[in-house]
Structure formats: structure tokens, C-alpha cells
Amino acid sequence: MKYTRGPITTSIMWNKPTVSAIRAWHNDMKFAIERSGYTAYLTGRSLTHIAVTNDVDIVYTGELKPDTLEQLLITSLVTGFRHKILVDARWQNVIETAEYKDNKLTILPTKFAFLNYYEQDNEMGYKVVNDFRLNPQYTAINENLVTSTFDAMGHRLKPHLQDYITKYGKFPSVLLTDYNKE
């Protein structure tokens, strides 16, 4: 097994995330998050259906500072590997990406950025390689960061997110500091 995201590569397989692993990761990340000036949220299935996910979805919000963000995303990934979990972190200009009201799902204007290069191969010979800088829907910020908007992505929402937003009227998220208190 080999996994590469941005400039980080590992050959150690991670475990399915658990609440205790997420909290331990966050405890190790607190200083880096505070120093960065970003606000950290736990989102996605790692919040709503932890039993069926393989990664931890983290969204950072705040002013986009490419050098600071790049270092925070790298630190998030490396710290996740130390805890044997895959941390899928990104930046968004807002936490809410969609809303549901009056029986209508609306995608809100949302910018996002993440570590560019992605490669994964496993022992079964399955390999995925993706350099997002080659996709016209993404813009390179630097060698390791790309950005886009949900508008450019064709208003793509995974079915489980559509279901959650329809049910609760908002994107699934919780401040990591609040998650760690529970």
C-alpha cells in the first residue's frame, strides 16, 4: 500500500476512525490550529456516520493564507498518520455549503482549497493518480495547493450530504473544540 497526498507519502495503512482517535489527533493539533489562526470543524461522515467512513473530514475556515494553510494541511495529515487515521482536511471560506428550506436544496457560494496531488495504490494493483492542477475546474495556488468553488464542481453533493442537509437544514459540522468536550 502506498498513499500520497501533496508532499506526504506513507506505506502504513490507517485504521477506521474512532471518536477517541479523532480526539487524540485534535489534542496533538490544538497548538498548530491556534497558531494558524484558522477555525477547525469536524464534518461529513466522520461526524454523522463514523461506523461507515474510512477518513476524518476536517474543514478549516478563516482568511486564506496559502503558506500557513499548506503547512496546517500537511501537519494535519502527518499527525493523522501518527494516530493511524486518514485526515482529509481542506479550507473553505464558509462552513455552510448548502441549505434546505422551502423544500429546496440550494448550494451556497463556497470556495475551497486542499493539498493538490493525490496517489493511492494497494496490494491488489489498484492505483489512482490525480494532479488537480491539470483539471480546468481547479486553480493552482502553489505547487501543493489548489482551489475551486462548489459552483465550478457542478453543485456536486454526495447523496448522504443531501440527505443530511434535507433532514437538518444545514451542512453537518461541529467545532472541533466542542467535539472534544463531549
Contact call for residues 145 and 5 (beta carbons, < 8 A): no
Domain that holds residue 76: 2-181
Q: What is the pLDDT of residue 156?
A: 57
Q: How far is CA 104 from CA 100, 108, 141, in A?
A: 5, 12, 34
Residue 171 CA to residue 76 CA, distance in Å, equals: 22
Q: How many CB atoms lie within 10 A of CB 37?
A: 13
- Per-residue model confidence as pLDDT tens for the chain (182 residues): 888 899 999 988 899 999 999 999 999 999 999 999 999 999 988 888 899 999 999 999 999 999 999 999 999 999 999 999 999 999 999 987 777 777 777 777 789 999 998 888 866 667 788 898 888 989 999 999 999 987 644 455 667 666 776 666 677 888 999 987 76
The strands making up 127-130's β-sheet, listed across from edge to edge, are 8-10, 2-5, 118-121, 127-130
Specify the DSSP class assigned to residue 137: T
Bridge partners of 61, per DSSP, are: 39
Specify the DSSP class assigned to residue 43: E
Q: How many CB atoms lie within 10 A of CB 14?
A: 19
Contact call for residues 173 and 59 (beta carbons, < 8 A): yes
Q: What is the pLDDT of residue 154?
A: 47
Number of domains in the chain: 1
